[in-house]
Amino acid sequence: MAEKTTSYLDILRQRLSKENLDKLLSIDNPALHEFVARYVEHCNPDDVFVSTGSEEEQRFIREEAIRCGEERRLAIEGHTVHFDGYYDQARDRKNTRLLLPKGIDLGLSALAAGESLGQLERDAGLKEIHALLKDIMKGHRLYVLFFCLGPTNSDFSIPCLQLTDSPYVAHSENLLYRQGYSEFRRLGRKARFFKFVHSEGELVNGVSKNIDKRRIYVDLSDETVYSVNTQYGGNTIGLKKLAMRLAIKRASEEGWLTEHMFIMGVHGPGGRLTYFTGAFPSLCGKTSTSMMRGEKIVGDDIAYLKIKNGGVRAVNVEYGMFGIIQGVNSKDDPILWKALHSPGEIIFSNVLVLEDGSVYWIGHDGEVPKRGINHSGEWFPGKKDAEGNEIPPSHKNARLTLNMKLLENLDPRIDDPEGVEVSGIIYGGRDSDTCVPVEEAFHWVHGIVTKGASLESEATAAVLGKEGTREFNPMANLDFLSIPLAKYIEINLNFGTRLQRPPKIFSVNYFLKEGGQYLTDKLYKAVWLKWMELRCHDEVKARKTPTGLIPLYEDLKGLFKQVLKIDYTREDYLKQFKLRIPEHLAKIDRILKIYSTKVPNTPKEVFVELENQRRRLLQTREKYGDYVSPENFEIVA
């Protein structure tokens, strides 16, 4: 052991300047020092920069990203643009793998149509990735960075060590995450930290050359993420969805939850602020809900949930947004739009840059420009790539990266080490024909099973595939699970049994149609939120249907007038909140088939709750027929 200690310290002394060595060794954690030394020696960078996260060091990293061409300045102060390689524009599902011991199978591949990762035998995966990493940083500088998932000095804190040779990746993470150097110093040898090793590999014209050797491997056993030969943020910003897989596994072992959820505060009467979390699959309104004008945002993407004093407390894992920019406009996204057009540190990626240094993306206000520079080089309308595909002005996966302090509706409690107490949990999907716009579950188990574990989202013709195809996505988290789905549902169910004050569980559906027309407007979600806020405090009554509790017309009429200055008609209410029994029965059949045939060890509560719901629906159909007016159902407290 003594020889090993000398060896790694010798490597650090030889390869690091005294200033950088002192910064590293001021953290009392030999395991951390050994890890850094191992990859300094193995990846063989020309230079090593250890960042404490000071403002001066963050500025240095940003300037390095500009100096080496990974970012370029734009017209507005603080704004830069980054271009990924033409074929390095999205998460590489094919080459992203969970590394698992031999014989372990999570059984997820048969379920997910989205980004659920394949598996690779751990020893083989580690051998392959280390062969790719050998000497890969020659000619590069290695940045050693320290972050914290969740607020610092908190029960929620997970310290993270990032090694990368890309100043763009380092700059991005400085915007997206809380600095963690002081957390490592505070915890010393007690720190149980996530580890991330990234190299962009050999560069040509400033972008990763060897994307045929692009690999992103998640070692669940050692809580380490490896990423090579790629720059795209979804593959390289490991603290986001890749770290989420590590956290889901750790949470499953420790009795808390890692969820694909926003956290927001909704204002109620008398200045009250009530906190909700929400899980929505992609393109179902998650960001627009969390960014609702007049309310407060704590986080837009990932939350840790823990039990504190009988209730649920939640924190935003991140401190920034790495969001899809396509479709962001001044009408639908006024707060984000304002931030994107004001001075402040923002990285735009794979957008169109105009001659005056402004940027344009698909869905931006105004006409499409006639020329500019994007990820394909000089761009003009009608330009085609080598395969004959027309190149749009911005990539459909173009991104914005910013720190949330730039948002005027940021809740100051984002950094509360205790988190915020959650009063409601919202599950939302894209559903044209079944679920009402807003509904409350009867109790925790009913909500987890019929709203969370039964969540589906319809494909859209333009983006996801054949219109109307329903994608099964329990808790909007299937793509990111690192444990079997049955175990994940069981953990959610058990979590509720330990609560003295369980949050109410709701479903929302912004996409209900009749005769091909949407029955609600995008703006209406503001009213559904206000109704849920009142329900969390038992201040309005509800009607009890076979599938849950729905609003009374009189309450919605008042809220529409108060919130949107709209006269809400009884005719609209009857259409929107009609019980559609055939569609509900078909959904139960779909969900039961999945759990009975594809999910081994499904908790019995799933089958019990769904069969009970079926029984209630059949009884109601006998009495009223297939489609039932909401006013046929009794009013309850």
Q: How far apart are CA 71 and CA 453, in angstroms?
A: 42
Residues annotated as catalytic are 284
The full 3-state SS of 66-123, as one line of letters, equals HHCCCCEECCCCCEEEECCCCCCCCCCCCCEEEEECCCCCCCCCCCCCCCCCEEEEHH
DSSP, res 632 = G
3-state SS, residue 330: coil
Q: How far apart are CA 541 and CA 233, in angstroms?
A: 46
Q: How far apart are CA 21 and CA 24, in angstroms?
A: 5
**Whether the Cβ atoms of residue 438 and residue 511 lie closer than 8 Å to each other:** no
3-state SS, residue 450: helix
CA 273 to chain centre: 23
Q: How far apart are CA 272 and CA 262, in angstroms?
A: 19
Q: How far apart are CA 282 and CA 285, in angstroms?
A: 8
Name the E strands within 235-319.
257-259, 262-267, 273-279, 296-299, 303-308, 311-316
Spatial neighbors of 12 by CB under 8 A, at least 6 apart, are 21, 24, 25, 33, 36, 37, 40
Output b/e per residue, 298-315; b: 16+ Cβ within 10 A.
bbbbbbbbbbeeeebbbb
Structure tokens at 387: 């395969």
Q: How far apart are CA 17 and CA 5, in angstroms?
A: 19
Rg value, the chain, Cα? 25
CA 554 to chain centre: 36
